[in-house]
């Protein structure tokens, strides 16, 4: 049996209570947005997006932008993957896509002309380094023609990299092209686990990429891990953690594998009998917290750990941490402009998502219009609840007077039903409630999604389309 354990992290401290987690875990959103993407509507279209941009212009003042570019291509399929990707070895597909992506970037650049300084850029996928070095050079030059990028010491420019697709010269080239943060997909170093998920990636290959990134002058190196993959055990996870800690990345993300084969076709190739039991997954999570915190990493929240001097940990201590579709972020006041198939923008009080297929994407851009497929306008209630969820997810506390000063409500009356639900979680030791503060306890931090779900008005609606979310832990 697993008992309560305390991980001696730097502030904020997180407490692992397996019995409590077993009792309270459920399916729920990860809150990279609120309302969540499954609430977007096709009634929101291109015209609505133009209206949202006009609203940003009319509000006046200079606000930085965050720019996301989605590169959907991969050489091979990783069986655990739930991303929007296109697996192909036909490189000409990337060339065609790049041409259309540049069209979309140009259209967005025109819309934001004069207010288009980018302080955060992220390339995700798929595998962004599926693009050749020359194609990446061309893409980044185009971005700079369409947007003003803040200087390297101010801007945060990151790219997701599959270590199997790059070598040391390519890493140095990415740095010259303007990237100063790099994120490496690792998932697990165990050879049997790698074979089971169709991602064979030797440790030496990953270590060489990290060394090249340090040598090239990248400000931050991140590693992504997953627990709960087929053939994983607490023992294999311990070995992987030892190797990751020795590699010394600045940030580490440890994601819970969500097995949803009815939603993600590649997962059907994973034998369910090879997956860890719920108790074994909890052992792995406990081990990750213990080992990473013991190695000096700060538990930032959800699945994220960072060195105390990393900008993410610093932003949390200073109250500047934000959460968006790429996870935790240091740029809370930036509108997010997203380009590429399936990419999601957050501009003013709106979210908008692009079409999900290449044919539809190309068709919209051939008509010289942005490929917006759906989205949502946020009501005052949405914005209010988003603020609350953001603060709880990022800082584990909420100042009630600050909410009442910003919005025309009396908190206790407006959230009477929610406070009643929180009282039950308070009895479980997840948080404390006073007239001025809602504070998440160390025990409640791993269950922060449960706490935030209390404020999610849309979860009250009954849905008949089956499970839509992963387990909260």
Helix-helix angle 92-111:358-366, to 10 degrees: 50
The CATH number of 37-338, from 3.20.20.70, 3.20.20.140, 2.80.10.50, 2.30.30.30, is 3.20.20.70
For residue 234, give every residue at least 6 positions away whose Cβ sits within 8 Å of its Cβ, in sequence order, or none.
Answer: 280, 283, 284, 287
Q: Which residue has the tokens 């990419």?
A: 343
For residue 191, give every residue at least 6 positions away whose Cβ sits within 8 Å of its Cβ, in sequence order, or none.
Answer: 200
**Residue 290 dihedral angles phi and psi, to the nearest 5°:** -60, -50
> How far apart are the C-alpha atoms of 460 and 420, rounded to whole Å?
15
Extents of the domains making up the chain = 5-20+380-460, 37-338
CATH fold group of domain 5-20+380-460: Arc Repressor Mutant, subunit A (1.10.10)
pLDDT in tens, the chain (473 residues): 333 333 444 444 788 888 999 999 888 898 989 999 999 999 999 999 999 999 999 887 678 999 999 999 998 899 998 887 898 888 889 999 999 999 999 999 999 999 989 999 999 989 999 999 999 999 999 999 999 999 999 999 999 999 999 999 999 999 999 999 999 999 999 999 999 999 999 999 999 999 999 999 999 999 999 999 999 999 999 999 999 999 999 999 999 998 888 888 899 999 899 999 989 999 999 999 999 999 999 999 888 999 999 999 999 999 889 888 878 888 777 899 999 999 999 999 999 999 999 999 999 999 999 999 999 999 999 999 999 999 999 999 999 999 999 999 999 999 999 999 999 999 999 999 999 999 999 999 999 999 999 999 999 875 545 446 777 67
Intrachain domains 5-20+380-460 and 37-338 with the same fold: no
> How far apart are the C-alpha atoms of 389 and 32, rounded to whole Å?
10
């Amino acid at each position: 049996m697993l008992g309560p354990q305390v991980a001696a992290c730097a502030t904020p401290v997180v407490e692992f209570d397996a019995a409590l987690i077993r009792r309270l875990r459920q399916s729920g959103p990860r809150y990279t947005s609120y309302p969540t993407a499954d609430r977007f509507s096709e009634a929101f279209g291109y015209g609505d997006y133009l209206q949202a941009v006009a609203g940003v212009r009319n509000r006046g003042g200079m606000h930085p932008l965050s720019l996301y570019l989605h590169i959907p291509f991969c050489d091979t399929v990783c069986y655990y993957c739930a991303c929007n990707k296109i697996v192909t070895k036909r490189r000409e597909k990337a060339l065609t896509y790049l041409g259309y992506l540049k069209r979309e970037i140009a259209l967005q650049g025109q819309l934001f002309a004069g207010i288009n300084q980018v302080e955060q850029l992220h390339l995700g996928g798929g595998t962004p380094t599926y693009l050749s070095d020359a194609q990446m050079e061309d893409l980044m030059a185009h971005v700079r023609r369409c947007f003003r990028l803040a200087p390297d010491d101010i801007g945060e420019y990151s790219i997701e990299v599959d270590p199997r697709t790059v070598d040391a010269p390519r890493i140095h080239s990415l740095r010259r092209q303007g990237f100063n943060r790099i994120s490496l997909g690792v998932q697990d170093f165990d050879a049997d686990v790698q074979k089971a998920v169709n991602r064979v990636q030797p440790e030496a290959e990953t270590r060489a990429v990290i060394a090249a990134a340090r040598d090239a002058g990248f400000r931050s190196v991140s590693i992504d891990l997953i627990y709960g993959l087929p053939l994983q055990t607490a023992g294999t996870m311990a070995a992987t953690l030892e190797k990751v800690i020795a590699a010394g990345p600045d940030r580490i993300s440890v994601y819970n594998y969500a097995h949803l084969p009815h939603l993600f076709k590649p997962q059907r190739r994973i034998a369910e009998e090879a997956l860890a039991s719920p108790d074994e997954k909890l052992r792995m999570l406990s081990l990750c917290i213990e080992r990473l915190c013991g190695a000096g990493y700060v538990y930032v929240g959800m699945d994220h750990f960072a060195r105390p001097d990393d900008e993410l940990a610093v932003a949390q201590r200073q109250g500047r941490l934000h959460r968006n579709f790429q996870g935790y972020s240091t740029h809370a006041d930036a509108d997010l402009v997203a380009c590429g198939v399936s990419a999601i923008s957050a501009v003013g009080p709106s979210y908008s998502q692009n079409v999900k297929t290449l044919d539809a994407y190309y068709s919209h851009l051939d008509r010289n219009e942005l490929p917006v497929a759906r989205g949502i306008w946020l009501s005052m209630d949405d914005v209010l609840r988003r603020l609350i969820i953001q603060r709880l997810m990022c800082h584990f506390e909420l100042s009630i007077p600050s909410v009442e000063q910003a919005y025309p409500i009396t908190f206790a009356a407006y959230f009477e039903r929610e406070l009643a639900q929180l009282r039950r979680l308070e009895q479980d030791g997840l948080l404390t409630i006073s007239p001025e503060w809602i504070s998440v306890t160390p025990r409640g931090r791993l269950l922060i999604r449960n706490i935030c779900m209390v404020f999610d008005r849309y979860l009250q609606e009954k849905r008949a389309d089956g499970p839509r979310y992963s387990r909260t832990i």
